[in-house]
Amino acid sequence: MPAISIDTFFACSLMVLLVLSAMSATAKILQPLINTSTNVEAARRLSEVAKRILLYAGKPADWGQWGQLVPEEFGLADVGADNPYALDVDKVSRLNRENAYCLSYAQIFTSLKAPDLMFRIEIKPVFAVKLNLTAVFEGSDKKVYTFEVATLKDDGVQVSAILKAYVLAGNLLKAHSFQKFDGWGSFNITVPKYLESPFALVVFAKSAHNSRLASYAVYTFTQNGEPAQEGAFLRLSPLNQTLTVTPMGAGVVLEKVYALTFSRVWQLTRIESNIFSVPASVDSCPTVLVAVGSNATKPLIEWTAYPQIPLKIGVDFANLPSASDIYVYEHLVSIGYGTYKCTIFLGRPKL
């Protein structure tokens, strides 16, 4: 089947699933991972637990917006959404361990009210953007970096997409658009040699057949093309349309913070010492937040996304032989204006 036919079928199928009133069709059991015996009652119960996680807002219903609040009852649903399987951006972000307001496994376990079950939650875009720096060319006053980019589903099938790329470093901000992209290609970015590294390349991708299916990737690199150090200088924690920036050392100085989407770029406004206002976006891609500054006079760059996906939290069942009756549930969910894939693993300790 030609690639465009696969993409068209893929996009249409996802849209049909999103508008189905029942939506329960997307919550099917894929397979038991360890115990292959059929247990209808157990499967039904685990299915209800998985659905509750995605359809219930929790208690209190707005627990995601308050960083110090631990929910009494766990649920990820957006209380203000009109459609089922719509998740709250802040509740999702608080599942990411990089967020300062992240819930612990123990806190989720307690609020889930299912003391006999272990769990794992994974949320990610429906397709991935892969970036690879393949070459660096040096001129008298500039450097040219060649990147390969691919947009791929989990099974390796390429996704036709529209791309938007940004390059940031200090005061440098460049944008590149690619209207026709068949799933793999390469492009060059050029930066002046006088700029000190590091740089951040941010690439957004939207399916050419359904703009709600979107993804992104960020690649940080130094002047010589080496990967830049990440997560060592600043901790970026988005919540409730704000960004809290926490320095990781005494010599760290924060200079600017940018918010990037597929269609817009903002320089964020500081509302407190290290808290910035994040503008609301109507884009299907996550908002990428990039902070620039210095550490002991050396330039630095850090980034995160809002919502903070992809994410994984919970038990690694693949390396846990002491579990039985492990089931996997896969759901399409909406977060903001985008569509994502959520996988919930549920299991019980082996008796």
Tell whether pTM > 0.75: yes
- pLDDT, residue 203, reads 96
pLDDT confidence bin for 249, thresholds 50/70/90: confident
Positive or negative CA dihedral for 337, 338, 339, 343?
negative
Which of 290, 274, 312, 150 lies closest to 220, judged by CA?
290
Q: What is the average pLDDT score of the chain?
A: 86
Lowest mean pLDDT among 191-195, 260-264, 300-304: 191-195
The domain limits of the chain are 3-123+311-349
Q: Which two tokens stand for residue 52?
A: 């509750």
Secondary structure (H, E, C), 167-184:
EEECCEEEEEEEEEECCE
138 CB contacts (<8 Å, ≥6 apart)?
A: 144, 193
The answer to whether 174 and 166 are in contact (CB under 8 A) is yes
For the chain, give the percent of residues with pLDDT over 90. 66
Lowest mean pLDDT among 35-44, 65-74, 182-191: 35-44
Residue of 177 and 209 predicted with greater confidence: 209
**Mean predicted confidence (pLDDT) in 294-303:** 90
Residue 136, strand partner residues: 145
Residue range 151-175, pLDDT digits in tens: 999 999 999 999 999 999 877 888 8
For the chain, give the percent of residues with pLDDT over 70. 87
CA dihedral (280, 281, 282, 287) in degrees, to 10, reads -150
How many residues make up the chain in this entry? 351
